[in-house]
Amino acid sequence: MARINGNFRKLAAGYLFPEVARRAASFQKEQPNVKLHKLGIGNTTEPLPPSIIEALHAKVDALSHAATYSGYGDEQGSTALREALSGYYRSINVQIQSDEFFISDGAKADAANLQQLFTEDCTVAIQNPAYPVYVDSNVVAGRTGSYNDLIGGYRNLVYLDGREEDGFFPKPPKEKVDLIYLCSPNNPTGAVATFDQLRSFVDYARAHKAVIIYDAAYAEYISDPNLPKTIYQIPGADECAIEINSFSKFAGFTGVRLGWTIVPHRLLAEDSQPDELHKFWFRRQCTFFNGASNIAQAGGLAVLSEGGLAECRAVIAYYMENARIIREGLKRSGLTVFGGDNAPYLWVKTPKRMRSWDFFDLLLRQCHVITTPGSGFGSCGEGYIRISAFGHREAIAEAVASIEHTLAKALEVLHE
């Protein structure tokens, strides 16, 4: 008799994005002539730069000849790509050996899978608000109790609250935890950890033999030289941190699919032998994964070339100009805006202490703009909405103009 994994039943009802889509569709049905503007989705919109396209084409052509065809590659990823990644880290003075990189088909699956390295009874701490995969993968693995509506979170999970006064990046936990998930620049808040903030987590992890899973998917959006782009810029992090990263937001590979995870040789858990976590992740990937697409990896190699990097950074600059336009427009509308300086997300405080979903509905129905309610990312997101800077410039400008023209009136009506 097969028995179902009942942990799936614990998952908090309704995933955030389908509910956003449902409300938008329902409004559009009521008002079919209204044009809705999208500032909600964390998805890239601009085409891949020419040198990346050229490399992808060249790899496809190579597959069409017997002499240059290739089938399965190394489970850990192509040596050339891992060496290029090692060089990419070296350019910011961080030494990672090429065999410490594990190429994958994206950071999200790695974020979900890494918990398999650790026991079922370990205590998990998660940044609040956060990208949903860290929580949900641990719920399904059975590390949490049920969802508690009163606290707006799962029992037995330690939530690390990101507060406005700390720049929305949390402090290390007071109690002893075993696994810690951090994301910087953070999705949804756009907050970036400072060197001191990251150092406090590395110190905590080394003192408690905890392991940090650090999601740096937006590292390339950091332009401030005083902010760390990788956790390995903190001395000692290679003993206590796994870093996941991705070509998705870095190079527009959201659909192409390519990411990487660093499991250092020096990484230790409380009871692990030296190098054991690295070996176990290698073993896991060899059995459960057959490698990332060779076409995508050829594209990734082109991204890391000098020309490719410059082209990808120009696309990032385009999105960051969108972020600036959004921030200026929202400020002119009287809103309080955080993030968007070193991340493609803006974290907007709701006016008049409105709840996230109420402000979402007001922006949808009165301003015709789709956003994402902050409360969908955790209890600390209540009272905020997330606005994404991904989008074509014209569409972004239209959305911002729509808010500028209609918000004041809509809020007045609300007050009456």
Ligand X SMILES: *Cc1c(COP(=O)(O)O)cnc(C)c1O
Binding site for ligand X (CB under 6 A): 42, 106-108, 131, 183, 187, 215, 217, 246, 248-249, 254, 259
Cβ-in-10-Å burial (0-12, 13-18, 19+) of 247 comes to buried
Rounded to an integer, what distance in angstroms lies between the CA atom of residue 310 and that of residue 312? Answer: 6
Output 130 or 211, the one with its CB closest to ligand X. 130
Output 81 or 367, the one with its CB closest to ligand X. 81
| Cβ(165)–Cβ(221) below 8 Å | no
Q: How far is the CB of 114 from ligand X (least distance, A)?
A: 12
DSSP result, 79-128: HHHHHHHHHHHHTTT----GGGEEEES-HHHHHHHGGGGS-TT--EEEEE
Q: How far is the CB of 411 from ligand X (least distance, A)?
A: 30
Tokens 């959305």 identify what position?
399
Name the residue number minimizing CB distance to ligand X: 106
Distance linking the first and last C-alpha atoms of the chain: 61
Rounded to an integer, what distance in angstroms lies between the CA atom of residue 272 and that of residue 20? Answer: 43
Output 254 or 272, the one with its CB closest to ligand X. 254
Q: How far is the CB of 130 from ligand X (least distance, A)?
A: 8
Cβ-in-10-Å burial (0-12, 13-18, 19+) of 412 comes to exposed
Q: How far is the CB of 353 from ligand X (least distance, A)?
A: 28
Output 107 or 240, the one with its CB closest to ligand X. 107
Output 131 or 359, the one with its CB closest to ligand X. 131
Output 86 or 187, the one with its CB closest to ligand X. 187
The total number of residues shown for the chain amounts to 416
3-state class percentages of the chain: helix first, strand second, coil last, to nearest 5: 45, 15, 40
What are 151's two structure tokens? Answer: 């606290």
Q: How far is the CB of 289 from ligand X (least distance, A)?
A: 14
Output 131 or 357, the one with its CB closest to ligand X. 131
